[in-house]
Amino acid sequence: MEDKEGSNPGAEFTSESSWTLSGGGPDSVSNGLNYFFDRESTGILSEFGWDLPPDHADEFGRFAELDRTETRRELEGIFSGSQSCAAADDQVARCSVSGTPSNPGGPAGMSTSNPSVSSSSSEDPPEKSTGSGGKQSEIPSKVKKKRQKRIRQPRFAFMTKSEVDHLEDGYRWRKYGQKAVKNSPFPRSYYRCTNSKCTVKKRVERSSEDPTIVITTYEGQHCHHSVAFPRGGLISHEAAFAGQFTPAISQLYNPGSQLHREIPPSITQSQSHSHQAPIDVGESRSELKPTSEPPTDEGLLGDIVPPGMRNR
DNA sequence: CGAATTTGACCCGCGC
DNA sequence: GCGCGGGTCAAATTCG
């Protein structure tokens, strides 16, 4: 079986190591590592709840809100056609966030407005957790209970060059499903945060195009601390994050700007991976394009604070 | 023994 | 309206 992600407590999980995606890994896969950010990814951060200065947000705010349909389609499109992503540039990946269908305010709202919004979209789903939606086996196959409508929450996908599927991100996840992915020999795994109050989910799959690339998609925001970062550290992490991020961003877009909030869920992993990058889940495949000149900052995303911590 | 994972079935939404 | 594929559930199984 596989080692459970996040199963290892923060003990050996220094904020630095855990959130560092740079290919620092002992066995980083040969090629380069690091990851790259581009406009989209930054926008995503914002969309996902990481506040970016307005100007920045605006600058990177090309993340149009997507209605559920688009969202889903884009997302699926990207994944099913992950080739596009991977193909874009074997070294580059991107991320994106999809809008929250049920949330009129849309992702944008939650992003820059206020910290507490984190729950705005990620909380409403009374749909699950309680299993409300669903038990079906317990009912006669003929009288199955209808599930509640699925409520999509903002998503944030990352492409990571890694040999392991399970990337440490400081949270504990419970696998609740696995599905074969069309056009891909690799299955997609579904995980849910083990925190009962947390509705965050994530999907993990490998790119059919490049098996070394792991695509991790997060949905929702954590409402608790990560295992890796039991408490505090927010400031420092923030600072660190901003400090490390800004350069990269400014490098590409607008110097002087800085991130204000934490980082998205997971972007980490402790094992072998050579690089990771966010994927724009909300963008159409056709728009996926490699970043012109990806920064090679190894610490680019080191020291990140998961969204969930922002509420602290 | 409790927790996590596996796995098949079922539901839902979308495209045709 | 139908079929397909994604996403989720939960019983069974495995693991610590």
Query: Tokens 């080739």 correspond to what residue?
Result: A83
Determine if the pTM surpasses 0.85.
no
Q: How far is the CA of A188 from the C1' of B10 (A)?
A: 18
Tell me, what's the pLDDT at A115? Answer: 35
Q: How far is the CA of A225 from the C1' of C14 (A)?
A: 29
Token pair of A279 as six digits: 């994927």
Q: Which nucleotide across the nucleic acid strands is nearest to A4, CA versus C1'? A: B4
* Neighbouring C-alpha atoms within 13 Å toward the C-beta of A297: 20
Q: Which nucleotide across the nucleic acid strands is nearest to A189, CA versus C1'? A: C7
Q: How far is the CA of A161 from the C1' of C6 (A)?
A: 24
Question: Does at least one atom of strand C sit less than 7 Å from the CB of A4?
Answer: no
Q: Which residues of A spanning 46-85 put their CB closer than 7 angstroms to strand C?
A: 72, 75-76, 80
Question: Does at least one atom of strand B sit less than 7 Å from the CB of A182?
Answer: no
Q: How far is the CA of A181 from the C1' of C5 (A)?
A: 9
Tell me, what's the pLDDT at A229? Answer: 52
**Which residue's CA shows the smallest distance to C1' of C11?**
A137
Q: What angle do CA A167, A154, A54 make, to 5 degrees?
A: 105
What sign results for the dihedral spanned by CA atoms A43, A6, A71, A128? Answer: negative
pLDDT greater than 70 at residue A221: yes
Q: Which residues lie closer than 8 Å to A215 by C-beta, 6 or more apart? A: A79, A82, A85, A157, A158, A159, A160, A203, A204, A205, A206, A207, A279
Tell me, what's the pLDDT at A175? Answer: 92
Nucleotides of C under 7 A from a protein CB: 4-11, 14-16
Tell me, what's the pLDDT at A190? Answer: 92
Higher pLDDT, A231 or A193: A193
Q: How far is the CA of A244 from the C1' of B6 (A)?
A: 40
pLDDT tens figures, A39-97? 344 444 444 444 433 333 333 333 333 333 334 444 434 333 333 343 333 333 444 44
Taking all residues of chain A, what is their mean pLDDT, rounded to a whole number?
A: 49
Q: H helices of chain A, where?
A: 15-18, 39-48, 54-60, 68-80, 82-88, 106-112, 118-122, 234-252
Tell me, what's the pLDDT at A199? Answer: 79
Question: Does at least one atom of strand B sit less than 7 Å from the CB of A149?
Answer: yes
Token pair of A230 as six digits: 């039991």
Question: Does at least one atom of strand C sit less than 7 Å from the CB of A135?
Answer: yes
Specify the 3-state DSSP secondary structure of A229.
Answer: coil
Tell me, what's the pLDDT at A226? Answer: 66
Q: Which nucleotide across the nucleic acid strands is nearest to A143, CA versus C1'? A: B10
* Average pLDDT for A161-169: 70
Tell me, what's the pLDDT at A114? Answer: 37
Question: Does at least one atom of strand C sit less than 7 Å from the CB of A224?
Answer: no
Q: Identify the band that residue A147 occupies on the pLDDT scale cut at 50, 70 and 90.
A: low
pLDDT greater than 60 at residue A193: yes
Token pair of A169 as six digits: 């991100």
DSSP type of residue A224: S
Look up residue A299 and give its amino acid: G
CA distance A308 to A100: 18
The pair phi, psi for residue A279, each rounded to 5°, is -120, 140
